[in-house]
Every structure is written in C-alpha cells, then in structure tokens.
Amino acid sequence: MDVSLVYKGFIYPLVNNPGLSDDISIWARIQRLFVIAKLARTPGGSDLEEVGRWAVQQEKEKRLLQRPGADRLFPSPERGNKYLVQVEGHLNNSGNGQTSELTLTWDRTGVPGGSEISFFFLEPFRSEVCAAYPSCLACLADQGCGWCPLSATCHRRLAQDQGAAACGSGTVRLILSPSNCILCEDYRDCYACSKDPYCEWQVNSSKKGDFLCSRRGRLPSAIRVPEDCPKLCNQRSTCSECLSNSSQCAWCQSTRSCFFFAAYLAKYPYGDCR
C-alpha cells in the first residue's frame, strides 16, 4: 500500500511541571485514510513505537494516540526534550476520487477539545540519508535534503561536491522548497501524468472528456501507463476523431489539423485558424 502523506519531525512537550504530563493527549483527526502513528520511546531517540493504527472511511473520526500499556506519551516532558513522531496516511478504498484528511491535535495548550499543534512545539526532521527518498515531496520532508529535477534523485543539501555534480554541475540548482515540486495536478496530458509513478489520469464521469491528473490509487478505472492513454490532439487526423471524447482538443478547419485548445493563442497568434 503506497504512502500518500507523512508527518515526520519532533514534538517538544515543553512542560514546566513534569507532573502535568499525564494530561497531555494527542489525537489524529482522520477521513478516508488508513493511518499508522508512531512516537519515539525516549527524548531525542529514534526508537519509534506504534501508538495508533486506524482505518477510517467516509466520516471524519478523532482517534487518540496511546502507548501500549497506557504509558504516558511523553515520559520526560521537560523543556529541551523532544520526541520523534511519524504519522503515515495510506489511501483506502473509500476515497472514490474525493479528498482525504489527516490532522494532529492536542490538549497541551488548554484549549477545550484540543487544538492543532503550533510550530512553536515542532522541529522539522533532518537526516544525512537522502538517496533513499523516491520523490520530490518525500525528499524535501527531510530538511537535510534537496531534490534534483534533472536526475529525479535526492541529495544532501550541504554535500556541495556530490549534490552539484549529480545535478548538472552547478547549471541546475537543487529544489529546496516543496512548492517547487511538480505535483500530479500540474500535469496537463495523460502521457506525462501516467509516466509519473505517483500519479494517475482520471476521466471525470460528471462531464464528458473532463480529464484530471491526481495521486495514484483513488480510482480503479484511472490510466496508469502511457500505452493506455488516448491519442494526443496533434495525432488525430479527422475532425470527428479530434473532438471524440475530449474537451481539450479543437479542430481547425482551414488547416485541417487538431490541436490542444489551451494553446490556441500561441499556435495561432494572428487568427490563422478559421
């Protein structure tokens, strides 16, 4: 089962009076996901222990993170101590193309019903092991890593000799911000979408020919290999074929050619198509 999202980093309980640690609780608010939550046993350690495993369908549910034997989540919550947390969300079969949700809340701040964990209590995860990350977003979830768009590989940010050489010898910079990663919804054609191992090309049944690229695993009927894609607009030779089951193609009668309608102004800047 592919991982759809991961929360990984450190939580600082920042408790002045350790006796209050019994009152610290963390919940996961989940919708349409199978979730596995883990928390380190000791401050600063990497010895993750499972504190929750849930499968949630259509309705949002709030689940409590609990250690085996009902031990405290933070055995030593004093200031300066931090705990590694990792929460993975996997798409289940209840999504049916709809969005999913995963949010962590806690009662550390005394807000009735809990509140989202503020960045004041969080620290991003950082490591030196970057090569194992398979995607841009997974790579940049580690603050010690950067993504090379040319080779589609993850490298250490500070390893200038290795990172630069593997990413165009300085001509191409490593991507360091998740906002610069190419997401599934950025793809505009079936071929590019289905070539990405994390994406699939969907046909929206509510509107004929309305296509969409999204994260893989949402619809069983989605296209996942380029060989199953319909012809590109410029590969269609007749008007009927051009307009068949596609809202993205347009037929130019004067040139007798099919083209991608979104590129109309670039292809015919002087109104050559009539």
pLDDT digits (tens, 9 = 90+) for 163-175: 455 676 666 788 9
Give the residue from 175, 179, 178, 199 showing the smallest Cα distance to 189.
Answer: 199
C-alpha 263: how far from chain center: 29
Query: Which residues, including other chains, have CB under 8 Å from residue 166's CB and lie 6 or more apart?
Result: 148, 151, 153, 155
pLDDT over 50 (residue 155): yes
Q: Considering only 19-23, 44-48, 65-69, 268-272, which range has the smallest mean pLDDT?
A: 19-23
Asked if the model's pLDDT at residue 181 lies above 90, the reply is yes
DSSP string, 39-89: EESSTT---EEEEEEEEE-SS-EEEE---GGG--S-SS--TT--EEEEEEE
Q: Does residue 21 register a pLDDT over 50?
A: no
Per-residue H/E/C for 168-205: CCCCCCCECCHHHCCCHHHCCCHHHHHHCCCEEEEEEC
> Residue 208: what pLDDT?
47
Residue 95: pLDDT over 70:
no
**Per-residue confidence (pLDDT) for residue 93, from 0 to 100:** 63
Whether the per-residue pLDDT at 161 is higher than 60: the answer is no
User: Is residue 228 exposed (0-12), middle (13-18) or buried (19+ Cβ within 10 Å)?
Assistant: exposed
Instruction: Report if pTM > 0.85.
Output: no
Residue 201: CA count within 13 A, CB half-sphere: 21
Q: What's the confidence (pLDDT) of residue 169?
A: 61
* Cα–Cα distance list, 273 to 194, 196, 255 (Å): 31, 34, 7
Answer yes or no: is pLDDT of 125 > 80: yes
CA 266 to each of CA 188, 192, 199, 256, 273: distance values in angstroms, whole numbers, following the listed order: 16, 21, 28, 17, 12
Q: What is the pLDDT of residues 190-239, one digit of tens each?
A: 889 999 988 999 876 454 445 688 888 778 888 999 999 888 888 898 99
Mean pLDDT for all residues in the chain: 84
> What CA–CA distance (Å, rounded) separates 225 from 207?
23
pLDDT at residue 219, rounded to an integer: 80
* Tens-digit pLDDT profile for residues 31-85: 989 999 999 999 999 999 999 999 998 889 999 999 998 889 999 998 899 999 9
CB 189 within 8 A of CB 65: no
